[in-house]
Amino acid sequence: MKPPLLFIHGMWSTPHVWDWFADRYRAAGHAVHVPALPYHDVDPDAPPSPILASIGVQDYVDAVAATVRTLPESPVIVGHSMGGMLAQKVAEATGARGLALLSPAPTATAQSLSIAPLRTVFGITVKRQWWKQPTKIDAERARWGIFNEVPADIANAEIAKLVWDSGRVLFQISMPWADKTRATRVDYDRLSMPALVLVGDHDRITPIAVARATARALTGHTDYREIPGAGHWLFHDPVREKVAAEMDAFLGQFA
């Protein structure tokens, strides 16, 4: 039996980013689950829900963990960006057959200081009390920090699909030392399942140093891969074919 797969999308994003992967792995015989994070299954042009002013990382973790607990067997959890951080938190809470962390955002334990992520979110963090507001990254900084190395037509189409997210969640991820709830702290002794950590070597918003720190923190057998010439966005050709090849190899051990 092939293990079920549960995909978690990233910040300002929606489940649609996984469509190509979901179709591919369903065709290969996997049961595939792609939940939307709370208040993300919305029209990109809709105004933000006021709840995004206060919702936090643990709310996202609880929502995904509730989905995991409905499954008949433990899945391999796949997360991109913030979804990669959430995948670790969900696996800590529910267990998992395995973890595939693509361009993972940092946990409180797997941090690395870098100017590039700060430059990417600068337009948000200069706003007054941004951590108490819904946030959405502007197109210019999204092109620089998230969609670098992506063809312009694809980048523009994806930027138009971005949705509002939680300022509190961004605060908890980017400033864990100031978060009294320690929402992104992970007990890595509980993450002893097989793992794949994959990142583009031109990633700006979640640089390779974060992926390397994550791979070092995981306590099970971990495959670490860097994709030359790729940025943060891993959902376009030919990059997604390279990602799928690494995932195929990783998933082969569970067959």
- In this predicted structure, what is the pLDDT of residue 92? 98
Domains by residue range for the chain, with CATH: 5-254 (3.40.50.1820)
For residue 220, give the amino acid letter. G
Indicate whether 111 pLDDT > 90: no
Which residue in this structure is represented by tokens 């699909």? 161
Mean pLDDT of 169-188: 94
Q: What is the dihedral of CA 10, 16, 21, 24, to 10 degrees?
A: 160
Q: What is the pLDDT of residue 117?
A: 84
Report CA-CA distances (Å) from 73 to 3, 96, 125.
Answer: 8, 9, 41
The pLDDT of 185-192, averaged and rounded, is 97
Whether the per-residue pLDDT at 113 is higher than 80: the answer is no
pLDDT at position 110 over 90:
no
pLDDT in the model for residue 119: 84
For 29-72, how does the pLDDT look when each residue is reduced to its tens digit (9 = 90+)?
Answer: 999 999 999 999 999 999 999 999 999 999 999 999 999 999 99
Q: Among residues 117, 85, 60, which one has the least CA distance to residue 191? A: 85
Its pTM stands at: 0.97
Please report how the helices 167-174 and 82-94 are oriented relative to each other, as an axis angle in degrees rounded to 10: 80
Residue 112 in this model has a pLDDT that exceeds 80:
no
Distance CA 118, CA 9 (A): 21
Grade residue 15 by pLDDT with cuts at 50, 70 and 90.
very high
